[in-house]
Chain A
Amino acid sequence: MISLILSRLGQSLLTLIALVSVVFVLVRMKPGNPFQDEKAVPAHVMEKINEKYGFAQTSTELYLIEEWNLPPKVAALERYGEQYVKYWFNLIFRFDLGPCLKLYQGFSVGELIEQSFPYSLILGLFAMVYALGVGIPLGVVAALYKNTWIDYGTMLIAMLGICIPVFVSGPLFQVLVATKVPFIRTAGMEGVSDLIIPAIALGLGVAAYVARLTRGGMLEVLSLDYVRTAKAKGLPMSQIVIRHCLRGALMPVISYIGPAFAAITTGSFVIESVFQIPGMGQHFVKGVTGNEIFIVQGLALFYGVIIMGANLFSDLLQVWLNPQLRKDLVK
């Protein structure tokens, strides 16, 4: 097991390096400049800023464009090389992800993550707990009463979660619940309890996936011989489900929760905006649309860590739950 984890960590590190390199180039290809604004910055000021932050073309670059007829975006790679080395140097030796350029002046990307990630994490965990807590029982019930009205009913409820996207469920909760119930705030983040409604809105869609995948997995397992034997022996259904079925039935769910958790914690932009939560999703979107190269690089790296961590976790869980795979490992 330990060697498996170590090798996975090594692989993930390599993937992260590749990821940062790709993002590094992509974010610089995007049209626009972080310092440009609706009211134009005068050309001479822009020049100064561009020079300072490495957005200005160097003389070598101009030479490459003129003499070698390289497209400007390709010639710019010359300048990026140095910045690339510098970025890694700062990251490794100073743990510095770079500054925020125009948005959040005076803050570093590290500070940004430090301030906003706890909110995103708690929100994500709540949403995940909700999704699993609702999705798994619904799926199990539906499978046990396959092709009856109970099955259709539970699946209908589960699926409404997908049909109501966050940009509808958020405002809907606000109008139906928050403005009516006195002790629930419409939006804002004053305490952990303010995260409950956003978490439900965020978890609705995931719950639907979980319920559907659980139902499918349960149906598979229920048709297996050992379950039939157990049934024939006359064991109570609840015991069969918990002791014999769930472990196998949850396999598809488990391989889904890795990416799902990562998607929830990193993709909560809409919910953050609707409920006014100071989370991380908004920084990423604002960073991308505002050409904030360091924010985008830093958050992409951080997201990469989360995604790979979550995927590793769900893979390990899978190995641990599947005796066959475990046996392989021991060999």
Chain B
Amino acid sequence: MKPKEGSAIEFEKGSSLWNDALLRLRNNKLAVASFFFITTMCVLSFIVVYLPGIKLDPNSQDLSNRFASSSVDHWLGTDQLGRDFLARILYGGQISLLVGIGASMITVLIGVVYGSIAGYIGGRTRDIMMRVVDGMMALPFLILVILLRDAIENNIKEASDHMIHVWNWSPDLVLRFSNLAPLILAIGAFGWLTMGRIVEAAAAATSKMEYVQAGRSLGLGHLSLIFKHIIPNILSPIIIYSTLTIPSFILYEATLSFIGLGIEPPNSSWGTLIKEGANYLETALPLLVWPSLFFTLTLLAFNFLGDGLRDAFDPKSSKS
């Protein structure tokens, strides 16, 4: 959801819509704060932990120092196996942010294109397209995940062997990410269904609006109608829904990692940390509270940023 660097140039030469939007976004303090929070989170998780001099090892166990409380050595204490909890949360952030943002992007891409085309065209085609969505919703995703998991296990093993022993990559890095791409693809491939339905409904309603009908009678192409007139007008549910799917995907990763698709132990993600932390509800509350806090704050930031974007890009709100 955050603007890419390249798009800044487009803002300069682009239409006044982009300039207006950017301006409105800048004036929204909460959205700006959220944007900085997310950026900080990304920097902390992806860059700071790898800086020389930062001694954060998420997987080094000290079994004699388990469940330690916060101290100078361990800012957030240690977990059930004496691992530094801050390190586990920050490294976990890498996985969770990648999964959340990556899978959401796939979801938005497929869901918006599919849904808006179906909603715009209508008729038989729409019926077929939407029944495909219904059918896919009813498919037992769990079986597909298990099948995928079993099918790729030996390939992943060979691939990581190759990367570690032939290419001499760091085993920590390889084992942390080797299983991640299939997971993101799997979530993305099925996560878009509800998005597709929501977009379809909104697009169907919008394509009945006068200005779309007018555009059609003016002889505008279908694609330009869809992308220039329909999608911008249904941005609101798209942004709201996609910012909400980020946390569900982050949590879903924990469930799928549990049956082996996704991250492999001993690596952590926010989802798995929260899931394990729930087991310590009576005995070691910080193990649940800290990852939940990082997760919740990040999620709130995504949603407030989403709101800001929605307000900024909504063509209707520019009138007010």
Contact = CB atoms under 8 A, between A and B. Distances in A.
Interface stretch (A60-68, A233-241, A256-264): A256-264
30 contacts: A12-B131, A14-B131, A15-B131, A26-B139, A27-B140, A30-B146, A159-B303, A162-B247, A163-B247, A163-B295, A163-B296, A165-B274, A167-B275, A212-B240, A216-B237, A217-B236, A217-B237, A219-B236, A220-B316, A223-B320, A252-B198, A259-B194, A260-B194, A284-B140, A289-B146, A300-B138, A304-B138, A307-B137, A307-B138, A325-B208
B20 interface: no
Contacts of B307: 155
B292 A163 contact: yes
Nearest to A146: B311
Contact of A288 (B143, B247, B316): B143
A212 B30 contact: no
Interface residues of B, number: 57
B237 A213 contact: yes
B19 interface: no
From B131, B146, B274, residue with most partner A Cβ within 10 Å: B131
Contacts of A278: none
B134 interface: yes
Contacts of B193: 259
Given A168-B292, A300-B138, 17 more contacts: A8-B127, A14-B131, A18-B135, A162-B248, A164-B292, A167-B278, A168-B274, A205-B248, A212-B240, A213-B241, A215-B240, A216-B240, A220-B316, A259-B197, A288-B143, A289-B146, A296-B143
A172 interface: yes
A258 B131 contact: no
Contacts of A311: 130, 134, 137, 197
A171 B130 CA distance: 38
User: Contact residue range for chain A?
Assistant: 35 or more
Interface of B: 28, 30, 127-128, 130-132, 134-135, 137-140, 142-144, 146-147, 150, 193-194, 197-198, 200-202, 204-205, 208, 236-237, 240-241, 244, 247-248, 251, 274-275, 277-278, 281-282, 288, 292, 295-296, 299-300, 303-304, 307, 310, 316-317, 319-320
A175 B300 contact: no
